[in-house]
Amino acid sequence: MNIKNVAVAGSGVLGGQIAFQTAFHGFTVKLYDINDEVLAKAKKRFETELSENYKTDLKASEEEIKSTLERISYTANLAEAVAEADLIIEAIPENVEIKKDFYHKLAAVAPEETIFATNSSTLLPSQFAEDTGRPEKFCALHFANEIWIYNTAEIMGHPGTDKVVFDTLVEFAKQIGMVPLEVHKEQPGYILNSLLVPFLSAGWNLLVNEVADAKTIDKTWMIATGAPKGPFGFVDMVGLNTVYNIDKNKAEKTQDPFTIKKVQYIKEHFIDKNKLGMSTGEGFYTYPNPEYKQEDFLK
């Protein structure tokens, strides 16, 4: 299988990064989202913030950025987005019903040979395999935030994934500058989030139970370990809407008292105020120059 044309569904923080990284490495990319307004925001982010990040962090030239931007097109028409796609990467909200509905719609318009991949960070491919209408061509392909720096790509199939499809995605990951991490058995959280989520959960426990404030928690971790950011710097990068959606689903299923309390906290302090982290310019910190990157933060 040879991948040339890629569609990305979802123009949020990570979906946008996936599209830009893929185009940067020479692939033709169509970015799909539900309306032109959100696509326009993504396009602006590409032309400013992401372009500058690639110039600063990867020493990308003006010509490389220009070529990258020219390889990306935008559409709110799903059929148009996937008409020529060899691969579509889904990066829409972490909500089971939303994803299932999306895959039903996608299956009706995508070419038979198109590979489907989910960028889900918590949900398993087997939860959606039948909804895709092509379970053998469906796999997880999960990226970390700030994809151009933290260049991991976790590839995780389900029991019905064709090995050729799995291997194709491993090779594709290499072609777009990723380090492919093969996950050989379905595991919620894959590798990265199986390690990261307990760390972030410990931070949330300290915050929501009023043991310490967010900046003190981050400062403690950064000083003691030498890490570049603490748990709430990570939360801003992941996106508070993503955390909220995941925990809201968990709270509804388990009725766990702490999770309910945490969801209410996130809604009141962040969701209702549209403070979603890096994507909106404010979460626990303000961006593009968060306090934790300033020299006196650790004093």
Residue 195 identity: L
Residue 250 identity: K
One-letter-per-residue 3-state SS of 79-119: HHHHCCCCEEEECCCCCHHHHHHHHHHHHHHCCCCCEEEEC
- Using CA atoms, how far residue 221 sits from 75, 183, 230, 233, in Å, is 42, 29, 6, 11
Q: Is 154 assigned a catalytic role?
A: yes
Q: Which of 58, 16, 11, 57 is nearest to 36 (CA)?
A: 11
Determine which one of 119, 120, 145, 193 is catalytic: 193
Q: Is 121 assigned a catalytic role?
A: yes
Q: Collapse the DSSP code of 28 into the 3-class scheme (helix H, G, I; strand E, B; otherwise coil) and give the result.
A: strand
Dig out the tokens for 177 from the structure.
């500058």
Strand ordering across the sheet containing 179-183: 72-75, 28-32, 5-9, 87-90, 115-118, 138-143, 152-156, 179-183
Listed as own residue / partner, the contacts of 239-242 with beta carbons closer than 8 Å and 24 or more positions apart are 239/12, 239/13, 239/14, 239/276, 239/277, 239/278, 239/279, 240/266, 240/270, 240/271, 240/275, 240/276, 240/277, 240/283, 241/93, 241/271, 241/276, 241/277, 241/279, 242/93, 242/94, 242/121
Determine which one of 142, 245, 249, 282 is catalytic: 142
Determine which one of 121, 245, 249, 279 is catalytic: 121
Which residues are tagged catalytic? 121, 142, 154, 193
